[in-house]
């Protein structure tokens, strides 16, 4: 086992897959000589050269289109968004081309494309750099969407995503890159459609993903001292949602809290609630609690920014309220 930062885990996954398969390449702004804005591609340029680690102009729609065209020809591009907020500039390419071409071509084309990069609410990055785009892409047919939360799952998910024959969006949180964890020496892969049971419990199911996993764990550590026994599920896969694992948990706990950094209106939690109501409503003993970010542009002011995002204390209060 060896200790790695999350950005190192992503870099290792990229390096291993590039070494094994010459069709894998990286494209994006400052991914080459600079090594990526969060050092995920550090030193890969010197190892693989300009044709496999391509620095692009600041033109998301153009290099996303180029990557999709490359994927059609049989290459396996990894597109890094310097900040995932900017991928809205390539929304047409991602939705109308990446998501749909395999279907609209009658299966003649595969789109083995990975889109990855930092997103979420950081520390005073301003509204335009604090976007959570998971709900934007949720409705697009043909995409797979995953969100890493630890160095371990970051590496295993990225390796699986690179080998998948469909377009995969990997959301990384801007505040998780410096998380450190021991990683196995041997190669490993993680499924792109399974949730992770972080903690087994019996009193309430808490479903979360990305950075909020760590807020939930902080809250749960305090709740355990008070005698509560929460079950914690990290979604990992945002599309498709592993609703079966959530349902299995609800058959035991009968209560559900969803914690997300996504916006409340039309967010990932809203989709989970809809699916739970369709399939597992009879197992619920109480209304579902949804803890989401407020529906406002993220303030630049640090105090106000913090107030828009769910805190561990809010999670604690919600569990107490639900189980009182």
| 173 has catalytic annotation | no
Cβ pair 234, 259 in contact under 8 A: no
- State how far the Cα of 226 lies from the Cα of 255, in Å rounded to an integer: 18
Q: Hey, what are 310's tokens?
A: 């769910």
Q: Among 134, 105, 126, which Cα is nearest to 297's?
A: 126
| 129 has catalytic annotation | yes
Cβ pair 134, 79 in contact under 8 A: no
Q: Exactly one of 129, 172, 196, 271 is catalytic; which is it?
A: 129
Q: Exactly one of 12, 17, 29, 60 is catalytic; which is it?
A: 60
Cβ pair 29, 58 in contact under 8 A: yes
The helix/strand/coil state of 5 is strand
Cβ pair 207, 230 in contact under 8 A: no
Pairing of strands 196-199, 230-234: antiparallel
The helix/strand/coil state of 145 is strand
Enumerate residues 6+ apart whose C-beta is below 8 A from 212. Answer: 259, 260, 261, 310
Q: Among 262, 205, 263, which Cα is nearest to 234's?
A: 205
DSSP alpha helix (H) spans, 49-183: 60-72, 91-92, 101-104, 134-138, 151-163
- Could you tell me how far CA 102 lies from the centroid of its own chain? 23
For 109, other C-beta atoms within 10 Å of its C-beta total: 15
Pairing of strands 180-183, 2-5: antiparallel
Q: Hey, what are 51's tokens?
A: 């044709």
- Please list the active-site residues: 60, 129
């Amino acid at each position: 086992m060896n200790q790695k930062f999350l950005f190192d885990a992503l870099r290792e996954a990229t390096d291993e897959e590039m070494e094994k398969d010459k069709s894998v390449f990286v494209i994006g702004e400052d991914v080459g000589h600079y090594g990526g804005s969060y050092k995920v591609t550090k030193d890969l340029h010197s190892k693989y050269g300009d044709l496999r680690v391509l620095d692009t102009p600041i033109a998301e729609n153009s290099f996303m289109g180029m990557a999709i065209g490359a994927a059609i020809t049989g290459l396996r591009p990894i597109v890094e968004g310097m900040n995932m907020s900017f991928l809205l500039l390539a929304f047409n390419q991602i939705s109308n081309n990446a998501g749909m071409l395999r279907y609209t071509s009658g299966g003649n084309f595969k789109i083995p494309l990975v889109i990855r990069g930092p997103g979420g609410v950081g520390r005073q990055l301003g509204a335009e750099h604090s976007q959570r785009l998971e709900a934007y892409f949720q409705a697009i047919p043909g995409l797979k969407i995953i969100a890493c939360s630890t160095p371990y799952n970051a590496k295993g998910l990225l390796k699986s995503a690179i080998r998948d024959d469909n377009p995969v969006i990997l959301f990384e949180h801007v505040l998780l890159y410096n998380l450190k964890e021991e990683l196995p020496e041997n190669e490993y892969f993680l499924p792109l459609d399974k949730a992770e049971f972080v903690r087994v419990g019996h009193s309430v199911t808490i479903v979360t993903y990305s950075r909020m996993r760590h807020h939930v764990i902080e809250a749960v550590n305090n709740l355990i001292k008070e005698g509560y026994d929460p079950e914690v599920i990290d979604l990992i896969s945002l599309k498709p949602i592993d609703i079966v694992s959530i349902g299995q948990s609800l058959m035991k706990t009968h209560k559900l809290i969803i914690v997300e950094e996504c916006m409340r209106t039309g967010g990932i939690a809203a989709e989970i609630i809809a699916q739970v109501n369709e399939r597992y409503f009879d197992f619920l003993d109480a209304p579902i609690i949804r803890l989401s970010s407020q529906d406002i542009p993220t303030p630049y002011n640090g105090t106000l920014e913090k107030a828009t995002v769910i805190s561990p204390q809010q999670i604690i209060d919600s569990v107490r309220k639900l189980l009182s």
